[in-house]
Chains A and B, each alone.
Chain A
C-alpha cells in the first residue's frame, strides 16, 4: 500500500526497488495543547533567551540598568499573565472589565497529562516571578559594583525561574525532575559566577557536588516508583494506589524515602542542610537572595505536589519523615544561628528554620496546610529577599564585609537601611503586625488542626530562640564603636554606604509589603485558600475511557 502511495506522490511509473520498507503511513497525533496555560512559562523562557540574544547586539554600549529593567519587565509580564488563568481556574465570569467565560473552568491538565494548572500552580508562579523581580533589582547595583556586568546573571535567573515554574506545574515525575534540574543547574552556575572571589567558586563546586548527589537519589526514587506503579504520571500513580491495597510495598517505600531525601536537600532541611550555610556565605549575595526565596518556593511546590497530593494514601510513610525533618530543622536552625558571627550564615540558618516551619505545614497534609504553605512562601520571599538585599549593600566592594562587626553603626551611616533591616528581621522573628507573624500563625494553626501538637510547641519555642538571633543583629546595627566600650570610631553620615537605585526600590517594596500584609492579611489569605492543588485525569483520545474525573488534594 505504501509503495503505491509513493508512486503516486513521486509520479514515478516504474516499480521502485524498495531499499527499506517504510511503515504504514500513520498520522501521529500530537497531544492537544492548551496554549494559554503555558503563557507564564513561555514568557519567562522566551524572555530569557531573547535577553541573551539581543544583549549580544548591544554589548559594548548597554545603557545602565537595562538588563535589570528587562528582567523585571519579563517577570512582571509573566506574573500578570497568570491573572486570566487564575480567573479561569476559579470560575470567575469577569476579570476587571472584560468577560471571560471560562472554558474549561476549574483546574485542568494539558499536553497529554504532563502539565497541571490549578490554583496552587498559579499562586506559586506569582511567588516565583516576584522573587525573580526582586533578585534582579538587587543584582543591578551589585554587578556594577563588582565589575561583573553583563546579561548572563539575569538570563540564568530567568531560566532558573522557568525551571521552578515547571516544577510547580508538573503532573509527571519526570517533568518535576527536569524542572528541578533546570532550577538547580542554573543556581550552581550563579553560585560560582564571582570569578574574583575564591569563596564563590568553592561554594559553586560544593553546591554542585552535593546537588548532583541528591538529584541522583531523587532520580533513583523515581525509578523505583516507576517500577512499583507502572507509570511516572502523578494521576496514574494515584489511581494505581487507590485501586490496590497499600500493603507494605517495598519498592514504593524505598522510592518515597529517596524522593524525600532529594527534595529535603533542596529545601535545606536538617540533616541535609550542611551545604546551605557554606553556599549562602560564598555565593554572590543577589544569587543567594534568589536561592533563599525562589528556589525554596519551587522545591516546596514540588514537595506538595508529590507528597500531599499524590501520595496521600501513603501518609503513614512520608508524614513521619517530614515530621522528623521539620523538628530537626526548626531546632538546629535556630540553635546554630545564634552562635554565628557572620550575618549571611545567620540568615542561612534562619532560612533553615523557616524551612522547618514550612515543612510543619506540609506535614499537616490538609487543604489548610497547603494554604499555610502558600501564605508562608509569599510572605517569606519578600522578607528574605529584602534581608539578603541589605546584606548585598552592606557587603561593600568585594562582597566580603558580612561579619557582625560590619553592621555596627549602620544606624548612623545609613539609618534607612537600618530601619528596613529591623522591620524585615522582626518580621522573620514573627513579631505581630508583620507578615511573618501571620505566616507562622497559620503554619502552627495547620499543625494544631492536624493534631501534630509536639510540632506546634517546638515551633513556638524555636521562634523564641531565633528571635534572640535577630535581636543580636538589630542591636549591632544600632550600636557603634563608642557605645559598647570599644575604642572604635563612631561612624558618621560621611561613611554612608551607597545604595543603588534598584536595590532601593526592591527594599522599599519588601518592607512595604511585609507591613501591609501584616496589617491586612486577608487578601493574601483568601488567595492562598483558593490556591489548592488538584490532580486532573487526562483522557487521551485513544484510551476511550470515560470523561475526566478530578481528584482534589484533600478528598480521597
Chain B
C-alpha cells in the first residue's frame, strides 16, 4: 500500500466511523449512549481533517481539529447537564420516555 492509497484508506475509515456513529444515534435510546455516538461522529470528522491536512500539506487541518475539540467538550458538558436535570425528575429515563412532546 503506497502512501497515497494509505491516505485514502484513512478517509474511508473516517467515513465508516461517521456512519457507525450516525446509525448508532438513530438506533440507541439511552441519552448517554447517544452523546457517545455524537462523539464518534466528531472523531471521524477530526480524522478526516487531519488526513486532508496531510494530503494537502497544510497545517490548517490540524488547527481546525483544535476548535472541534473545544466545541465537542462544551457540547458534552451541556448534554450531560441536561441528562442530569432530566434524571432528577424521572429516574431511568430514556429517549422513549420523551412522550409528552410527541406530536
| Minimum C-beta distance from B18 to chain A (A) | 6
**Which residues of A in the span 193-221 have a Cβ within 8 Å of any Cβ on B?**
195, 198-199, 201-206, 208-209, 212-213, 215-216, 219-220
Q: Check if B60 sits within 8 Å of A231, measured CB to CB.
A: yes
With A185-B78, A227-B52, A227-B56 as known contacts, state yes or no: A219 contacts B101, CB within 8 Å.
no
| Bound Cα distance A213, B52 (Å) | 22
**Which residues of B in the span 85-99 have a Cβ within 8 Å of any Cβ on A?**
85-86, 89-90, 95, 98
Q: Say which size band chain A's interface belongs to.
A: 35 or more
CB-based nearest A residue for B18: A220
Q: Check if A185 sits within 8 Å of B86, measured CB to CB.
A: no
A118 within 8 A of B: no
B55 within 8 A of A: yes
| Bound Cα distance A74, B42 (Å) | 35
**Which residues of A in the span 224-271 have a Cβ within 8 Å of any Cβ on B?**
224, 226-227, 230-232
| Minimum C-beta distance from A335 to chain B (A) | 14
| Bound Cα distance A198, B91 (Å) | 12
| Minimum C-beta distance from B56 to chain A (A) | 5
With A208-B82, A226-B60 as known contacts, state yes or no: A199 contacts B101, CB within 8 Å.
yes
**Which residues of A in the span 15-47 have a Cβ within 8 Å of any Cβ on B?**
none
Q: Check if B45 sits within 8 Å of A223, measured CB to CB.
A: yes
Contacts of A216 in B (CB 8 A): 18, 21-22, 38, 41-42, 45
| Bound Cα distance A377, B36 (Å) | 36
| Minimum C-beta distance from B43 to chain A (A) | 10
Q: Check if B85 sits within 8 Å of A195, measured CB to CB.
A: yes
A174 within 8 A of B: yes
Chain B interface helix/strand/loop/mixed: helix
CB-based nearest A residue for B65: A223
| Minimum C-beta distance from B32 to chain A (A) | 11
User: Which one, A275-283, A401-409, A472-480, is touching chain B?
Assistant: A275-283
| Bound Cα distance A282, B99 (Å) | 12
**Which residues of B in the span 59-93 have a Cβ within 8 Å of any Cβ on A?**
60-61, 64, 67-68, 71, 74-75, 78-79, 81-83, 85-86, 89-90
Contacts of A230 in B (CB 8 A): 56, 58
**Which residues of A in the span 177-199 have a Cβ within 8 Å of any Cβ on B?**
177-178, 181, 185, 188-189, 192, 195, 198-199
| Minimum C-beta distance from A181 to chain B (A) | 5
A296 within 8 A of B: no
Contacts of A195 in B (CB 8 A): 85
A273 within 8 A of B: no
* Interface-centre pick from B11, B44, B89 (highest chain A CB count, 10 A): B89
| Minimum C-beta distance from B93 to chain A (A) | 9
Q: Check if B85 sits within 8 Å of A204, measured CB to CB.
A: yes
| Bound Cα distance A232, B60 (Å) | 9
| Bound Cα distance A213, B21 (Å) | 9
Q: Check if A205 sits within 8 Å of B83, measured CB to CB.
A: yes
| Bound Cα distance A363, B29 (Å) | 37
A440 within 8 A of B: no
> Which 5 A-B pairs give the minimum distances between C-beta atoms?
A278-B101, A216-B41, A227-B52, A201-B86, A223-B48
List the interface of chain A (C-beta within 8 A of B): 174, 177-178, 181, 185, 188-189, 192, 195, 198-199, 201-206, 208-209, 212-213, 215-216, 219-220, 222-224, 226-227, 230-232, 277-279, 281-282, 340, 342, 345
Sample of 15 more A-B contacts, CB < 8 Å, known A201-B86, A208-B79, A213-B25: A174-B64, A188-B79, A192-B82, A199-B100, A199-B101, A204-B85, A205-B83, A208-B82, A209-B35, A212-B79, A213-B38, A216-B41, A216-B45, A223-B48, A227-B11
